[in-house]
Amino acid sequence: MNFAKAAWKLVVAVKDLMVLLFLIGFFLIVYAAIKQARSADAAPSTGALFLALDGPIVEQPSAVDGLSAISGGGSVAPEYRLRDVVHAIETAAGDSAIKAVVLDLDGFGGGGQVAMERVAAALDKVRAAGKPVLAHASVYDDDAYLLAAHASEIWMTPMGMVGVTGPGGTIVYYKGLIDKVAANVHVYRVGKYKSAVEPYIRSDQSEESRQANKEMVSALWDDWLKNVGHARKKAQVVKYLADPLGATRAAGGDMAKAAVGLGLVDKLGDEIAFGTRVADLAGQAKDGGEGSFAAITLNTYLRRHKPGTDGGVGVITVAGDIVDGDTPAGTAGGYTVASLIRDATADDNIKALVLRVDSPGGSAAAAEEIRAALAAAKKMGLPIVVSMGNVAASGGYWVSTAADAIYAEPATITGSIGVFGIVPSFEASLAKIGITSETVKATPYSGEPDIIGGVSPEYDAMAQASVEDIYGRFIGLVANARKLTPARVDEIGQGRVWVGGMAHQLKLIDHFGGLDEAIADAAKRADLSGADAKARYFDPKGDRLSRLMQLLGGSDESEARLGARTAVPRDWLSLAAMRQKQWTLRILHDVRALVDGPAIRADCLECRGFQPPVGSAAVAASDAGWLARMAAFARSL
């Protein structure tokens, strides 16, 4: 009897909770609709397209679980979809309502060299249309300055500085720590350049990895200097970076004046002075204070000018780590991406596919699942074209082997044709605290890999053979796709990373170009023209609550006011410290992925240093709040 009463109380409590959540969701939907309508009505009809970029530009924004957001796990900085930013800027070039394009880059999270060059090309179209582009920031790092170089006016705060440092950074090695705790890391790899595992087996770079990394950094830096030099000929970037301290002392110790003197910056001024200048060009805000201007924010402008989504070229994105299973946006789940490919091929209106890849790889099995789905689409007669973003390496290149043509940019990082596996064991460290073990086996492989008692030689040999088998398959896929001999692919493979220019010479890619060029090629191969030659994007939709939280997030009103947004450092030292914290998050993220992810990987960890650092969106996506955890537990019952 008592059990029945308790069960009934539980049923009533669950029912009450569901009714409460339904009511909350209903009122949130109403609030979101009212908020959007009011934001659209409040925005001026003409003025400046105001891009206040408070986070990174990415191929696919990370999805944050709606329950996590409600329960306190979803407080994140925004991420901006690359194609949305480009669409807004290019539309503004021909829109008579837009008088100028304004970049506020305080708090900008970067986005990688290829993405920056794509946005910069869109800014060039605005200037070619006779409209001014203005940029303002307290500190300009590499990505921010690449964008600013394409502006007609570069502004900086009087206490600011140009903090360009060039590509490159620290590689962390864990071998010393592993030795101290007496752990044992079993590594299985093919390819002398597969340096992803070097942090676990060495205390420094191998000579092969050092050579490859230097060449990659040099090529990226040359491309950056070429782009900036072409866009802003008066900027003496090389002279400034040769002796920034000397340039500063020559300007009386004033870093901002040194930047102006060498042509890196046009004018110094705070937000009010900058806003007043924009108001002269684009008009005064109706109800703003000094320095306010008629600002049309990115979200508002995208609502007014939605990109077309009814073309005949299906575009599927592979962004972030390639992992097994079904995953939300921002991570490329093998099942998720393969399902999107199947959805596209099931649509009779889709006549060609473009795979947009911005990934350092990950699970070899998940990469094969995606490639197999593309191969099935190809058998159905659909042309397949791959467009590479910042990084398309290892597993990111694996999925590209199904393509009829591969497009990349000179600054794209690709290749890393290699496979590795890693399994830790703790027999020595456990023995130090008195924990030992014995085994009883039916075969030499029973209970393996034994992380407590130690991995057996038989398992080591089998694991190495498995990695070599997958590497052989990788080599075969590349050889068949690129019309090369397996011996030649093995020669240029070995886990070696290549920048786009060299990859083109090695026949790993076919053409230089971005997503637009890839879509045009796919449409041509499918004999599409007019509206049918345009793209239709297939993205993970996420759950309804998550989509609702996205609607509720971000205030256009707060965006439209300079200095009223996300609190970010506004001096070079603090900004550099924040960036290092973000890179620390990336290290933790990568280590966790190695522990939680598959043992055998087609991954390029060294490529991750050339992507935007892991920000709060990625952390929040993996750090669910209490309500999300409770829901996940309920689903597991």
Whether residue 136 is found in the same domain as residue 232: yes
Whether residue 373 is found in the same domain as residue 434: yes
Whether residue 130 is found in the same domain as residue 13: no
Q: Of residues 394, 400, 546, 616, which has the active-site annotation?
A: 394
Residue 194 placed within a domain = no
**d(Cα 178, Cα 202) in Å, to the nearest integer?**
10
**d(Cα 229, Cα 274) in Å, to the nearest integer?**
25
What percent of the chain has a predicted confidence (pLDDT) above 90?
Answer: 49
Contact 499, 286 (CB under 8 A): no
Instruction: CATH number of the domain at 523, please.
Output: 3.90.226.10
**d(Cα 201, Cα 327) in Å, to the nearest integer?**
31
The residue assigned the tokens 């077309």 is 308
Q: Regarding predicted confidence, which is higher, 70 or 350?
A: 350
| Amino acid identity at 598 | P
Question: Average pLDDT, stretch 195-217?
Answer: 81
Whether residue 129 is found in the same domain as residue 262: yes
Whether residue 241 is found in the same domain as residue 155: yes
Active site residue 214: no
Q: What is the pLDDT of residues 249-270, one digit of tens each?
A: 999 989 999 999 999 999 999 9
Residue 157 placed within a domain = yes
Q: Would strands 511-512 and 600-603 be described as parallel, antiparallel, or unpaired?
A: unpaired
Residue 72 placed within a domain = yes
Whether residue 274 is found in the same domain as residue 410: no
Whether residue 17 is found in the same domain as residue 150: no
List phi, psi (to 5°) of 126. -65, -45
Residue 201 placed within a domain = no
Active site residue 524: no
Q: What is the DSSP string of 59-109?
A: SSPPP--HHHHHTT-------EEHHHHHHHHHHHHT-TTEEEEEEE-TT--
Q: What is the pLDDT of residue 179?
A: 81
Per DSSP, 506 falls in state: T
Question: Average pLDDT, stretch 150-164?
Answer: 94
**d(Cα 486, Cα 491) in Å, to the nearest integer?**
9
Q: What is the pLDDT of residues 612-627, one digit of tens each?
A: 555 444 444 444 444 4
Q: How confident is the model at residue 183 (pLDDT cuts 50, 70, 90)?
A: confident
Whether residue 90 is found in the same domain as residue 238: yes
Whether residue 528 is found in the same domain as residue 592: no
**d(Cα 103, Cα 111) in Å, to the nearest integer?**
15
Q: What is the pLDDT of residue 629?
A: 42
Q: pLDDT at residue 459 above 60? A: yes
Q: Of residues 131, 194, 351, 534, which has the active-site annotation?
A: 194
For CA atoms 420, 477, 113, 314, the dihedral sign is: negative
Segment among 21-35, 201-215, 276-290, 358-372 with least mean pLDDT: 21-35
Q: What is the pLDDT of residues 568-579, one digit of tens each?
A: 565 555 566 566
What is the residue range of 463's domain? 313-540
Whether residue 233 is found in the same domain as residue 322: no
Q: How confident is the model at residue 563 (pLDDT cuts 50, 70, 90)?
A: very low
Smallest CA-to-CA distance from 296 within 104, 102, 123 is with 102
Q: What is the pLDDT of residues 546-556, one digit of tens each?
A: 555 555 554 45
Q: pLDDT at residue 34 above 60? A: no
Whether residue 244 is found in the same domain as residue 386: no
Residue 196 placed within a domain = no
Report pTM: 0.84
Q: What is the pLDDT of residue 541?
A: 79
Q: pLDDT at residue 36 above 60? A: no
Whether residue 284 is found in the same domain as residue 320: no
The count of structural domains within the chain is: 3
Residue 189 placed within a domain = no
Residue 204 placed within a domain = no
Segment among 122-126, 346-350, 542-546, 554-558 with least mean pLDDT: 554-558
Q: pLDDT at residue 248 above 60? A: yes
List phi, psi (to 5°) of 527. 60, 40
User: Packing angle between helix 544-552 and helix 2-42, nearest 10 degrees?
Assistant: 40
Chain-wide mean pLDDT for the chain?
82
